[in-house]
Structure 1
Amino acid sequence: MTSLAYTTSTQMQVPTWVWWLTVGLMAAVLLFDVFVIARRPHVPTTKEVSGALALYVGAAVVFGLGVWWFTHDQAGAKFMTEYYAGWLTEYSLSVDNLFIFLLIMARFGVPEKLQQSALLIGIIIAIILRGIFIAVGAAAINQFSWVFYIFGAFLIYTAVKLAREGEGDDDEYEENRFMKWVERRFPATQEYDGAKLFTKIDGKKLATPMFIVIMALGTTDLLFALDSIPAIYGLTKEPYLVLTANLFALMGLRQLYFLIGGLLKKLVYLSIGLAVLLAFIGVKLVLHALHENELPFINGGHHVEAAPDIPISVSLAAIVVILGVTTVASLLKTRRDEQAAASS
């Protein structure tokens, strides 16, 4: 029996049919979601979203075990650890996305029963855009080892920026330039027409607010992908693991939105925690770039052997600790604030 993925020089060699099977299964799940939600727009119950989220998380965990099973020996454990580290990182960054999604929904007054449709289409756009980013990132890494310097520096810059923003209270969604152009280019009605993106009024075709909302969700996730794709490439160089970690992180995002919408406001240290996480991965990338250095103006173009290469097991442990401490500290802070407010 042949393995779905085998290893050569500690690199995954994934057969083409496995790629197509993975993409096909994910597309089938999304199409099923689209079909069900399009037929019955509604506000999902807690039981409904909890069950679906448990299914997606369970599938992600089982997939990681499958990576270990179908790759062999120590290499299998390495790839499994890389996948879990990437998945946890992408999931944690996606949680940060949810806060922006909440602001977008509030900004455009999306009716509750239509929010599922908006999120689903926005997630499909995000998957397509991230797929392009992943392919470009893989090509860049294969051709230029120095791209890790750029990725690392960008993540450290993003971490500093995120930490500073986390110190304030930004409860308003600020449209980017592209969204302002979209609103000028596509005149929209003031009223929603179900989940339709366009409608006709007096024979004139106009965009609905739903179209604007979906574009806002898609472009916002694209901006987040500028952080998340370099971050996951700092944990694994395997495009297949990068793709699947992103897919599993995004697949349960809609359910997570409805399940922890209120909880997000209690994660007061989320931005700081994610800043620490991105800074850690940024430093890891820079150290790896030094270890693989080929730039002539650094160490004469030779590898900097003294630069430590942080093992993936250490990275996974650091990710779990950072996210755990962030969550516990946030909930304790919120609880103290609520008790103080109640007593006063």
Structure 2
Amino acid sequence: MDVPVWVWAATVAFIIGLLLYDLIFHVRKAHVPTLRESSFWSALYIGIALLFGVGVLVFGGTSMGSEYFAGYVTEKALSVDNLFVFLIIMASFRVPREDQQKVLLFGIVFSLVARTGFIFLGAALINTFAWVFYLFGLILLLTAGNLLKPGHDEEDAGSNIVVRLARKVFHTTDYYDGDKLFTQHEGKRALTPMLLVMVAIGGTDILFALDSIPAIFGLTQNVYVVFTATAFSLLGLRQLFFLIDGLLDRLIYLKYGLAAILAFIGVKLILHALHENNLPFVNGGQPVEVVEISTGLSLAVILGVLVVVVVASLLSPAGKAQTAINNARRHATSYLDMEYTHDEAERERVFRQLVEERDAIVALGPKYKQMVRDEPELMALLTRARDSHDRVHPDDPVEPVLTGTDRGDEPARVR
């Protein structure tokens, strides 16, 4: 279905309008979003994406509508996986909590621009060279295998080559000056970590696009559907980050689900490439009669896999324990970092979450408490956080040790 130019113009204007609204009314003033704020805006953006899909279904037909929803769900799942890396980058750069919104919005805008360029490049290649489907399929299969490699999520995403080069070539500071990108340091103009973290986010966004665009082209070759599904999956990602911040580590099986989805789409692309084959060394340059996977089946597989991995992650005791441990480590580090936030209420919220995570580990039993005991650095970190809190709040002490592992099996509550 050919989409009129005015529809393209109206869609692009609407998306830009949403981004500008986000910038002017939410991100411009540095603050930590509340749970209520994050929940409302996340639901609103998802609602807008779903209503748009209904419009595509009504005006574009069942096939186009199904392709949009399949593409949106896939891109949204990949975007959630991207949040893991954003979290690692912002932790490595010690981005103050109040300024994380600005970094995320920049990442979303840069990602949208980069992916739009890849979308039109991919569309041009597909229209010119049918063998590109083979290439896209191979990329997705390799990506699926890479997701299963140990330590995939722990890679030092914040130390990419562009950031290292910037630190060597330009005068940089180790401290933030609000949300400024440049500041005066030792009488000279210097780059702040805020600019460097944006460079790191931008670099990883380009890598994400190399996985994302082949995946959605495996579901539809309609450029309008590819663009809108990608754009709406990115909108609201900032709010979603703050909404599920504490749950990201809980989705311990998400990477396996994404690997299965990308492998499935990769096989779908290769089957389509065989069906459209014109390579002379494959079947004499003639199309190969193979079974092609329908969009409806693709959507069912994608949704089914995501439901299974999310439910399995949320119900898994190992997932609960690993989530609590990872979040406790992150919250203890944030609490001890005086530059993390200047909002005392936010610091207290971080500490209360830390105590809840301690209690969650204790409640899971001796096996999972031992996981904490086996990490002396984590034990020391948690003890330092508890001591720091007790110095500031002597009338509201926390039972030693913060992990609760030295005082029996009952959770040590804050008095």
TM-score normalised to structure 1 length: 0.91
Is the CA contact (8 Å cut-off) linking 2:93 and 2:158 kept in structure 1?
no
- The alpha-carbon deviation at position 110 of structure 1 amounts to 0.6
Alignment partner, residue 127 of structure 1: 112
2:221 & 2:201 partners in 1: Cα distance?
A: 28
Alignment of 1:151-230 (within 5 A): 151-165=136-150, 170=154, 172-173=156-157, 175-201=159-185, 203-230=187-214
Question: Relative to structure 1, is the Cα distance of residues 217 and 340 closer, same or farther in structure 2, using a 3 angstrom cutoff?
Answer: closer
1:186 & 1:178 partners in 2: Cα distance?
A: 12
1:253 & 1:336 partners in 2: Cα distance?
A: 23
Is the CA contact (8 Å cut-off) linking 2:144 and 2:262 kept in structure 1?
yes
**Secondary structure of 1:193's aligned partner:** coil
- The alpha-carbon deviation at position 182 of structure 1 amounts to 2.7
Q: Aligned letter for 1:16? A: V
- Max Rg structure: 2
Q: Of the candidates 310, 313, 317, which is equivalent to residue 300 of structure 2?
A: 317
Is the CA contact (8 Å cut-off) linking 2:313 and 2:319 kept in structure 1?
no
Alignment partner, residue 83 of structure 2: 98
2:167 & 2:50 partners in 1: Cα distance?
A: 41
- The alpha-carbon deviation at position 42 of structure 1 amounts to 0.3
Is 1:46 matched with 2:31?
A: no
Alignment partner, residue 16 of structure 1: 5
Is 1:343 matched with 2:332?
A: no
Alignment of 1:72-151 (within 5 A): 76-151=61-136
- The alpha-carbon deviation at position 13 of structure 1 amounts to 0.4
**Secondary structure of 1:200's aligned partner:** strand
1:179 & 1:239 partners in 2: Cα distance?
A: 33
1:39-79 per-residue CA deviation (whole Å, 9 max, x = no partner) reads 421000011011111111001111111011112xxxx1011
2:160 & 2:293 partners in 1: Cα distance?
A: 37
1:279 & 1:138 partners in 2: Cα distance?
A: 21
Is the CA contact (8 Å cut-off) linking 2:157 and 2:200 kept in structure 1?
no
2:28 & 2:294 partners in 1: Cα distance?
A: 48
Alignment RMSD: 1.7
1:58 & 1:114 partners in 2: Cα distance?
A: 26
- The alpha-carbon deviation at position 183 of structure 1 amounts to 2.6
**Secondary structure of 1:296's aligned partner:** coil
Is the CA contact (8 Å cut-off) linking 1:268 and 1:334 kept in structure 2?
no
1:334 & 1:265 partners in 2: Cα distance?
A: 13
Q: Which is bigger in relative contact order (C-alpha 8 A, separation at least 6)?
A: 1
Alignment partner, residue 329 of structure 1: 312
**Secondary structure of 1:196's aligned partner:** coil
Alignment of 1:21-32 (within 5 A): 21-32=10-21
Is the CA contact (8 Å cut-off) linking 2:84 and 2:153 kept in structure 1?
no
Question: Relative to structure 1, is the Cα distance of residues 334 and 178 closer, same or farther in structure 2, using a 3 angstrom cutoff?
Answer: farther
Figure out how many residues of one structure are paired with residues of the other and give that number. Answer: 327
1:234-285 per-residue CA deviation (whole Å, 9 max, x = no partner) reads 0000111111111111111101110111111111111111111100000000
Is 1:270 matched with 2:254?
A: yes
Q: Aligned letter for 1:30? A: L
Which structure 1 residue ranges, 4+ long, deviate > 6 Å from structure 2?
Answer: none
- Identical-residue share of aligned pairs (%): 51
Q: Aligned letter for 1:50? A: S
1:180-229 per-residue CA deviation (whole Å, 9 max, x = no partner) reads 22332332212212211112335522111100111111111111110010
1:136-155 per-residue CA deviation (whole Å, 9 max, x = no partner) reads 00100111111000000111
**Secondary structure of 1:205's aligned partner:** strand
2:241 & 2:279 partners in 1: Cα distance?
A: 44
- The alpha-carbon deviation at position 164 of structure 1 amounts to 2.1
- The alpha-carbon deviation at position 122 of structure 1 amounts to 1.7
2:148 & 2:168 partners in 1: Cα distance?
A: 33
1:53-107 per-residue CA deviation (whole Å, 9 max, x = no partner) reads 1111001111111011112xxxx10111100000000000011110111111110
**Secondary structure of 1:164's aligned partner:** coil
**Secondary structure of 2:257's aligned partner:** helix
2:158 & 2:202 partners in 1: Cα distance?
A: 15
- Residue segments in structure 1 that go unaligned for 5+ positions in a row: 1-11
**Secondary structure of 1:321's aligned partner:** helix
Is the CA contact (8 Å cut-off) linking 2:147 and 2:255 kept in structure 1?
yes
Alignment partner, residue 221 of structure 2: 237
Is the CA contact (8 Å cut-off) linking 2:171 and 2:189 kept in structure 1?
no
Is the CA contact (8 Å cut-off) linking 1:122 and 1:218 kept in structure 2?
yes
Is the CA contact (8 Å cut-off) linking 1:231 and 1:281 kept in structure 2?
yes
Is the CA contact (8 Å cut-off) linking 1:122 and 1:215 kept in structure 2?
no
- The alpha-carbon deviation at position 169 of structure 1 amounts to 6.9
Alignment partner, residue 291 of structure 2: 308
1:42 & 1:173 partners in 2: Cα distance?
A: 25
- The alpha-carbon deviation at position 176 of structure 1 amounts to 2.2
